[in-house]
Chain A
C-alpha cells in the first residue's frame, strides 16, 4: 500500500528539483542579458562625449541619458515605457535605478577610486565614465524576494598612462 506513496514522493522530488533548476537558470539568463545590454548602453551613452580635441571630455547628461535609454530599449526589446514588447527576452519592465556621468567637469581628477556604497560598486577609474545600474523582476516560485536582478555597468575613456 505504501508503494504508491513512495513513487509519488520520488515524482514530487523530481518536479521540485526540476523547478528549482529552471528558476536558477532563468535568473542567471536574465542577469546575463541585462549585463550585456547595460554594457552596451553605457558604451553608447559615452557617444555624447564632446570637446575631445580640446583635451577635455564633456559628456552632455541629456544626450547621454537618451542614448542610454535607447540602447537598453533596442537590446532588450522594450517600449518607450521600458516595458517588454512581445518577444522580448525579459519578463518585466526594466528600471534604471542609477545613472551617473563622471567627466572632466565633475570636479574629480583622474585616476581615482570610484565608490558607490548604495549599489556596492568600487572601481578604479582612469578617465571619464558613465555608470548605469538597472534592475528587473524575474518570475519566482522559490526565491521570494531574491527574484530581483540588479546589474551595474561602467564604461570609461581610459587614458594611456
Chain B
C-alpha cells in the first residue's frame, strides 16, 4: 500500500519535472515576443510620428501567430495624430500571460499579463 502511494506521489513529481522547464521556456519566449514587438512598433512609429493602423495590424498578426488571442491583445499609444520631430511617442502592448508554474504550491498570485512599453522620439516632419 505504501509503495502504491509513493508511486502516485512520484508521478506528480515526474510530471512537474517534465512540464515546468517547458512552461518556463514558453513563458520566456512569449515575454520576449511582446517586448520585441513593442520595440518594433516604436521604431516603425518614429518616422510617421504615431502608431499607424498598418503597424498595429502587423503587431497583432505577429502576436496571433504565436498563439495570442486577437481580442485579448491591447495596444495603446499616447497619440492618435502625428507628433512632430522631437516629441515623445509611447507604445504599450499588453497580453494575457500563461501560468508560470505547473503546480503553484505556494498559492501566491503570479503575473497575469505580459507588458511591453517603449519610448521613442518622433522623426516626423510635417
Chain B residues in 8 Å Cβ range of A32: 32, 35-36
Q: Are B24 and A21 in contact (CB under 8 A)?
A: yes
Chain A residues in 8 Å Cβ range of B120: 40, 43-44, 71
Within 8 A of B (CB), among A42-67: 43-44, 47, 67
Chain A: how many interface residues by the 8 Å CB criterion?
Answer: 22
A8 to B51, CA, bound (A): 54
Q: Are B20 and A18 in contact (CB under 8 A)?
A: yes
- Interface residue A109 (Cβ < 8 Å from any Cβ of B): no
Chain B residues in 8 Å Cβ range of A17: 21
Chain B: how many interface residues by the 8 Å CB criterion?
Answer: 24
Among B20, B28, B117, B119, the residue within 8 A (CB) of A25 is B28
| Dominant secondary structure at the B interface | helix
For B125, the closest partner residue in chain A by CB is A52
Among A36, A71, A74, the residue within 8 A (CB) of B36 is A36
For A17, the closest partner residue in chain B by CB is B21
Binds A, one of B39-47, B53-61, B63-71, B74-82: B39-47
Chain A residues in 8 Å Cβ range of B32: 28-29, 32
Chain B residues in 8 Å Cβ range of A47: 85-86, 121
Chain A residues in 8 Å Cβ range of B119: 40, 71, 74-75
Chain A residues in 8 Å Cβ range of B24: 18, 21-22, 25
Closest beta carbon of chain B to A64's beta carbon, Å: 12
For A33, the closest partner residue in chain B by CB is B35
Closest beta carbon of chain B to A135's beta carbon, Å: 19
Closest beta carbon of chain B to A26's beta carbon, Å: 8
- Interface residue A138 (Cβ < 8 Å from any Cβ of B): no
For A40, the closest partner residue in chain B by CB is B120
For A26, the closest partner residue in chain B by CB is B28
A116 to B48, CA, bound (A): 33
Q: A32-B32, A32-B35, A67-B121 are known contacts. Are A43 and B21 too (CB-CB below 8 A)?
A: no
For B20, the closest partner residue in chain A by CB is A18
A14 to B19, CA, bound (A): 12
0/1 per residue, B86-126, Cβ < 8 Å to A?
10100000000000000000000000000001111100000
Within 8 A of A (CB), among B16-37: 17, 20-21, 24-25, 28, 31-32, 35-36
A75 to B92, CA, bound (A): 11
Residues on B lying within 8 angstroms of A by beta carbon are 10, 13, 17, 20-21, 24-25, 28, 31-32, 35-36, 39, 42-43, 46, 85-86, 88, 117-121
